[in-house]
Structure 1
């Protein structure tokens, strides 16, 4: 059985029945004549006298045109060859009504050689985002583009401070950011070198923010478990980015905008061009530059919170009263420093109030060169560079960690990131090697992150302290090699049409962490220089630069591992209406052993307009290489926290055990229906069980768990009893259940233009089925393995409900698009001070609508202008509850940092594009 292949001389060619591997295509020649092409015989059938009439009809009603095309085409072809007798009017109508979709064949979700997989007939749910959709999202980066267009994808506003506010990640179906596998042109993409991206302590996902949108042809998002096909990480699904491969033409575009409040200026420049090489080959180059200025929305510091030391009756500086819950306050009988009256009380307290500063540049190259009629050499290369600055909490000058001789009015430290990212893939593929298609490929990727602390100080170095510090380098590389074979047997297993695929993979990973400069981590021995505590020693916990400290020499790492995999896939077609996909994979890792996964996926078509699909799959995620030896020291406004390597003697003495891979079992059941001529519905329900979720032990210290200070000090002589201690753990088992719904359609009018609309929604809920037992050494001090705050982050970081409604309109040179996104309840936990007692509370940062609007005009075939308003109604996220003790009291006026949107508010921009 041969799949239909459009004739190379035809344009606008559509298969009449791609779902059933029809052998007939419909198209038009360059002359405009309507043509039917029999792929088996190679014969063409012209209809010159009907082409003008049918062309007019097609402009008015594609469905009617499809029926007439089918009737005429079937009669014409049958009269001359009889080869297309199985082509029905209904099949042609369906193809004509949905031709724009059927032209996009999908390549994600199976290694099958078949070339007839589309969104509609895939056994698994797949979203396809075209270049047009990506542009319409009007987002600076790919990460936010996915968040804007996919209900099942969530990007927390800022799940953390410091480096993780620059290196970010998203969630698919509410799972970890590292539970989604990212491919580029079907090949595995390397991950970030930074652990903790996306709000999950042990995650090292692919940094989608480093993939330029200007080089993307389309994105295929598989919402289903696929570890048996692609390996580790594909528990929630797969994102496959297909790059542009044009051999001619090109475009340039300029985008500029700012937030309603006049800050956060954004500029974006994209240029691309395609060139023909050799005989039928292509070379495509794309470049992109983004410049994002900061925008902060933190509230003012309340008047009763002191910046400076208060004064006693003799004018001497004294220590203020108050604590972390109340802030520094004026003692009885004291007077405030005169500078309190004139100090600027609008300070930056972290990037939670808006958008961090970032600069991004990228270059991509894509080429393909036929070596002969059956063999092609192909490749893709990308380079991305990013610099970012993210604000941390303002440091009051009354804190002895501030060198007042350098910063008399305090300072806001900024975390800096300078990142370089490379990827090169090279391969050769061919057809008909003893009947097999084959593909040999090799991909090398590297992420190199240099970290800095700006506008800070190292208090233990006194006047010799620097203000800018190099904190260390994080580096990850991955080298992945694949060999794949595939073929179709007309009479294969059980006498059925069978697609077979086999493959092998070898992957080698490295991870390095280098030390920062000495002042960033060391204790210089200087005493407190001035103030009420002058002459007292600086705590050992306050060694290094403030906000983020550097990587200590004992924290450096140089690790590697390799893995081998064998995999196979079978696609069976028992009938024209039924397809069954089977996949299995064996994988062996040098650091934790082997694992086998499997997948069964099927689709049955009851009628031309109704089908059922489903998948059962096992999956896994290997612990990130960085997680196995991760060690870190962080300094907050009030505390110093240490994350110990899970394999260190100190961590083992506190009950740590080696990290095990997460394993999953997932089920998906979906219904696909064509409700009317141009209205389609897809409903997919799913359950994903994940065992041994990797997370982080609840931080403990003497003040939170009395008596545990002895454990803290036993871990290291340099630790104070109130330093926080933690390490990575296999926390427990979860179950995620949800449903994805998509309803879309469109209609044409004679005078008012063409309308396309869609309604898409995701409902998602996660429960913690089991928590691993707490080690006895911690249980004696009531230290929980997994705190309520950590559980809340796991269960509630993603929205329970997210819906996106869109309406697109076009008429001649004009176009418009309106998108409304609904976020349902999103729970967050904090503590509120009630009569001096810290009381846990849960509140929602969801329950909001975000509306985006675009207006477009094409001056001619080459030049166009788009005007956009993102967050048109200037919606802001929730604020922390009054009296919150999670942060300083002035933060009760600030916005939650990890909600679905940031606090910058409405944003407007204009994009001018020229293509040729």
Structure 2
């Protein structure tokens, strides 16, 4: 792909200014570059090289100057702040210990950063580098199905082109929501060094970045090499006041029942012995005590150890005040260190043929942290582990059993319902990733003429791999825990086994005990992508309104993915999230054709009318063949106005994790509709809930798994829009240029691959006794949910639509410089996800749910001022207000309306500022930049339904002001 050039017509120049947000200095640089480039170019969204920059679909182009003005230090941060972007993994939204294993088999993407367009998910966004696919991420915890943008250093980026429209007929699978095409630096003369340091006003979070590149461009050869280093330090959740409670403003009401003091729920050997009221009898519907039904629900006073005087000793009833506050152990910002080296070369063999090669190696070290891992044992544990649920016996003679009788989970005599212990002695869970990515690609390209008509061709091949290991400390071996709590003689016969004091309170689990139950868990995963393609484009014939252009080609790809959990996980001994081995591969062969048909030039239809038609056929080794098509219309009635529309089919093939992922578990935070007083309602009684039922733990384990029978998702996309550059606003006293744009979009996805939302399943079962929903989970005779299955299927339909607005206003140049204003906004009018039962899931515009949201309005406005060697910019980033359920805050003053179960997250506007100064007096140029993001230190709105840190990190920036300084040097 060659660099952008300007078309001589006034409208095209205006449109380019609007799309690129260029100011006069940048426009001048572009014009000087254009004189050295081809008359035809290739832009994202079409394979046909053409002179017009504006095609049938809108492409947002982020120039290097625009990227630098953001102050961001990664590709992910840049694209995640587009108004059309949704929530996706980042250093703010990344927590191995709390996310579990999602049903797509991709793991948690620990340390990765992805991009989501139109809120359709990262898996439905295709990421290209110079028009060629990039390998999917690997995190050590699964087979990822989206690209980790952290593997692409910002130092090699010339610009980023973002197509926010379906493009499967042009690029194949995954381009349902759009395409992010990262264009690398090629025409480089000399060297460039850039050093940046930034920090938050919270404790920690310092970022350091160093980028270097050097290149030469001669008559026949161009080459560039470079290196990049980035390091970001972590910020603890304890630094943000609203992240210091499980749900802000609720104290310990939503804390964990697994505590340092331990929580024990069991039936005493004598079912009539209430131990002075500590273990009360259950009551019947009339409120009368039921003989033999005594149940203990006990703990130790906060901070206290067992007194050792025999049961009941100093045990007390378990209440909310005894719950554990896990929130301060999380991270607001995860640490991340990245190193990259890259290089590429292009050589012209002749005026009409050239070859190129590109290579990259990247290494990332990152980490996540979570509260000390809870140990849950008993029939109500619901952790899908037989060692904890059906094989545990704590005999009366176990050294640390204070009750004087056996506790068992086995058979009809089971009397141990729950033990919840948080071994703070072992420290927090820590997940550390080491990810290595390499990429090599090369190709040949050239041009020729047929009957004086220009044609171009290219062939290329690529091979890439991302390989990761993840090391987990602070977790436990449930088999060893079982042995340490079991028969003392059996434990003594096992080398290394040390009896475990699980009832003794904080500080009573010794180093020897930890050594027996605390393994170092090592997981590894790998993603490999190989690809080869050939393309040709040119003019077939002259029609009544101009040349008939076309592009055609063929492509072959092979994907391979592997995930190997630690052997103790495979053996079912891991206390944390279980998972199995995933290994799979598939290949695809594709062919496509695209035509650009001129329908009219001049006359009644104005300046021009052009039709584009494209089709692609893909043959997958997993499910067979599928075809997609696209049609677009471009109408330019006059130089000042462009109208365009397109309709496209799309598809997304099931990923390796979705196809071959084995049984694993996700710990979902769910609110049981039958908890407490609701337990006696007819609907809850019908669900098998006994009177007085109390949900033991808000985290319920959900089993997930891949499905080899999955079929590809199918989509339909429609786009219509206009770009207007009024002549009366050009060269006037109040405007040098004014460009306005509007685009309507609509996406429909059928057979969306997903697991049903667990909370929605439970609510649907209770509300309507839906048979499919009620079959998804199982309660035991105490009402506790002990099995919840959530297997992937082609069961969803997604409909979303909305509007994009753009405006670029360039004021006349004065003695005080020149000011330009750029505005981009997205209005989401519809987002509806219909489940397998034909009912809409709760996710929709203006609603915060499941730790993510779709704001109805998002908007970015930037004012940019140029004066001689100075540049200053001020940006406003706006997120519309959201509504959510009060969740665990219902009844607390922090909830906006407890009676209606409604809480509002207010509209938020953040201000960013940057000033830079450049001089050519030293070497080839030096530039000093200072900036502040979130100038007024505005905190994100409090989120009551979010499970971590008191706010939604996928929608809002990290709390706190971020200040940075950058030094750039050309030589």
Q: TM-score, normalised by structure 1?
A: 0.74
User: How many Å separate the matches in 2 of 1:382 and 1:796?
Assistant: 34
The number of equivalent residue pairs is: 758
Deviation at 1:711? 7.6
Deviation at 1:725?
2.5
1:438 to partner: Cα distance? 1.2
Secondary structure in 2 matching 1:371: strand
Structure 1 match to 2:83: 151
- Name 1:309's counterpart in structure 2: 261
Greater RCO (Cα-Cα under 8 Å, separation 6 or more): 2
2:871 to 807, 815, 832: 815
2:776 and 2:789 in contact (8 A); partners too: yes
Q: Which residue of structure 1 lines up, in the alignment, with residue 236 of structure 2?
A: 296
Deviations 1:458-496 (A, max 9, x none): 35435344756334222211112111111124x435674
Structure-to-structure mapping, 1:304-383, within 5 angstroms: 308-309=260-261, 335-338=301-304, 348-349=327-328, 351=330, 354-383=332-361
Show the counterpart of 1:697.
756
Tell me what 1:17 maps to: 9
Residue 112 of structure 1: CA displacement? 4.8
Confirm or deny that 1:221 pairs with 2:172. no
* C-alpha separation in 1, matches of 2:79 and 2:12: 32
Whether 1:754 and 2:818 are equivalent positions in the alignment is yes
Q: Which residue of 1 aligns with 2:854?
A: 798
CA separation of 1:470 and 1:410: change in aligned 2, threshold 3 A = closer
Match of 2:220 in 1: 280
What is the CA-CA distance between 1:729 and the residue it aligns to?
Answer: 1.8
Partner of 1:161: 95
Q: Summarize the Cα distance change of 1:663–1:635 in structure 2 as closer, same or farther, 3 Å threshold.
A: closer
Secondary structure of 1:234's partner? coil
Superposition deviation, residue 331 in structure 1: 8.5
Deviations for 1:477-519, whole angstroms, at most 9, x for unmatched residues? 1112111111124x4356741111111111111111113142x
**Between 579-588 and 302-311, the greater mean CA deviation after superposition:** 302-311
- For the residues of structure 1 that align with 2:796 and 2:8, how far apart are their CA atoms? 51
Change (3 A) 1:293 1:487: same
Superposition map of 1:613-692 within 5 A: 613-634=644-665, 636=667, 641=701, 643-647=703-707, 658-675=709-726, 676-677=729-730, 678-692=737-751
Cα 1:625–1:608 change in 2 (3 A) is same
Distance 1:735 1:153 in 2: 16
User: How does 1:692-731 map onto structure 2 within 5 Å?
Assistant: 692-699=751-758, 722-731=786-795
Question: Which runs of structure 2 are paired with 1:114-263 in the superposition (5 Å)?
Answer: 114-118=49-53, 121-148=54-81, 150-156=82-88, 161-162=95-96, 163-164=108-109, 166-193=111-138, 204-263=145-204
Q: 1:390 aligns with which of 368, 371, 374?
A: 368
Cα deviation for residue 263 of structure 1 reads 1.6
Listed one character per residue, the Cα deviations across residues 668-692 of structure 1 (whole Å, up to 9, x for unaligned) are 1111100321110010011111111
Pairs within 5 Å for 1:557-636? 557-573=582-598, 574-575=600-601, 577-634=608-665, 636=667
**Residue 584 of structure 2 is aligned to residue 514 of structure 1:** no
Q: Give the superposition deviation at 1:170.
A: 2.4
Query: Does the C-alpha gap of structure 1 residues 671 and 728 become closer, same or farther in structure 2, counting only changes over 3 Å?
Result: same
**CA 1:495–1:249: 2 relative to 1, 3 Å:** same
**Contact 1:832 1:840 (8 Å CA) reproduced:** no
1:68 aligned residue: none
Q: 2:87 touches 2:853 (CA, 8 Å); kept in 1? A: no
- The answer to whether the 8 Å contact 1:159/1:165 transfers is no
**Which stretch shifts more, 681-690 or 398-407?**
398-407
TM-superposed deviation, 1:372 = 1.4
Moved more, 121-130 or 827-836: 827-836
- Any gaps of 5 or more consecutive residues in structure 1? 7-11, 22-60, 64-94, 322-329, 524-542, 649-657, 775-783
Name stretches of at least 5 consecutive residues in structure 2 with no aligned partner.
Answer: 14-22, 97-107, 246-250, 265-274, 281-295, 307-321, 379-387, 389-417, 482-512, 602-606, 670-696, 731-736, 893-897
Deviation string 1:374-411 (CA, Å, 9 cap, x unpaired) is 11101222222111111223457999999999955463
Instruction: Summarize the Cα distance change of 1:345–1:645 in structure 2 as closer, same or farther, 3 Å threshold.
Output: closer
Q: What CA distance in whole angstroms lies between the structure 2 residues aligned with 1:372 and 1:685?
A: 45
The 5 Å alignment of 1:478-493 reads 478-489=529-540, 491-493=541-543
Cα pair 2:189 2:215 within 8 Å, conserved? yes
Instruction: Call closer, same or farther: CA 1:770–1:615 in 2, change over 3 Å.
Output: same
Q: Distance in 1 between matches of 2:841 and 2:12?
A: 52
Secondary structure at the aligned position of 2:237 is classed as: coil
* Kept after mapping to 1: 8 A contact 2:374/2:420: no
Query: Contact between 2:42 and 2:49, CA under 8 Å: does it hold in 1?
Result: no
Deviates more, 1:895-904 or 1:330-339: 330-339
Deviation at 1:703, TM superposition (A): 10
1:14-64 deviation digits (Å, cap 9, x = unpaired):
65338799xxxxxxxxxxxxxxxxxxxxxxxxxxxxxxxxxxxxxxx989x
Is 1:498 aligned to residue 548 of structure 2? yes
> Is the aligned partner of 1:848 residue 2:788?
no
Q: Name the CA distance, whole Å, in 2 between partners of 1:142 and 1:818.
A: 21
Q: Distance in 2 between matches of 1:335 and 1:455?
A: 25
Quick check: 2:439–2:463 contact (8 Å CA) kept in 1?
yes
CA contact (8 A) 1:768 1:795 kept: no
- Measured in 1, the distance between the counterparts of 2:279 and 2:149 equals 46
User: Are residues 827 and 673 of structure 1, via their aligned partners in 2, closer, same or farther at CA, if it must alter by over 3 Å?
Assistant: same
Q: How does 1:540-555 map to 2 (within 5 A)?
A: 543-546=573-576, 548-549=577-578, 551=579, 555=580
Contact 1:296 1:904 in 2 (8 A): no
Structure 1 residues 769 and 344, CA gap change in structure 2 (3 angstroms): closer
Q: Which residue of 1 aligns with 2:457?
A: 438
- Mapped to 2, the partners of 1:431 and 1:708 lie a distance apart of 59
Residues 122 and 665 (structure 1), Cα distance of their counterparts in 2 relative to 1, 3 Å cut:
same
| Partner secondary structure for residue 350 of structure 2 | coil
Task: Tell me the secondary structure at the aligned position of residue 114 of structure 1.
Answer: coil
Aligned partners of 1:308 and 1:210: how far apart in 2? 40
| 2:918 counterpart (835, 847, 858) | 858
Q: How far off is 1:910 after superposition?
A: 0.7
The separation in 1 between residues aligned to 2:940 and 2:753, in whole angstroms, is: 29
What's the CA shift string for 1:346-378, capped at 9, x where partnerless? 865464x62111111112212211111211101
Q: Deviation at 1:196?
A: 11
Distance 1:672 1:128 in 2: 15
Q: State the 1:285 CA deviation.
A: 1.3
Q: Give the C-alpha shift of residue 209 in structure 1.
A: 2.3
Question: Root-mean-square deviation (CA), in Å?
Answer: 4.4
Tell me the distance in 2 between the aligned counterparts of 1:470 and 1:334: 31
Task: Choose which of 933, 939, 951 in structure 2 pairs with 1:876.
Answer: 939
Alignment correspondent of 2:881? 825
SS of corresponding position for 2:888:
strand
Cα distance change of structure 1 residues 603 and 354 upon mapping to structure 2, 3 Å threshold: same
Contact 1:507 1:564 in 2 (8 A): yes
- 1:178 match: secondary structure: helix
Tell me how far apart the structure 1 counterparts of residues 262 and 550 of structure 2 sit (CA, whole Å): 78
| Residue equivalent to 2:471 | 452
Give per-residue Cα distances to partners, 1:98-136, cap 9 Å, x unaligned.
Answer: 959988986334545434132xx3221111111111122
- Give SS of 1:697's match: coil
CA contact (8 A) 2:204 2:233 kept: yes
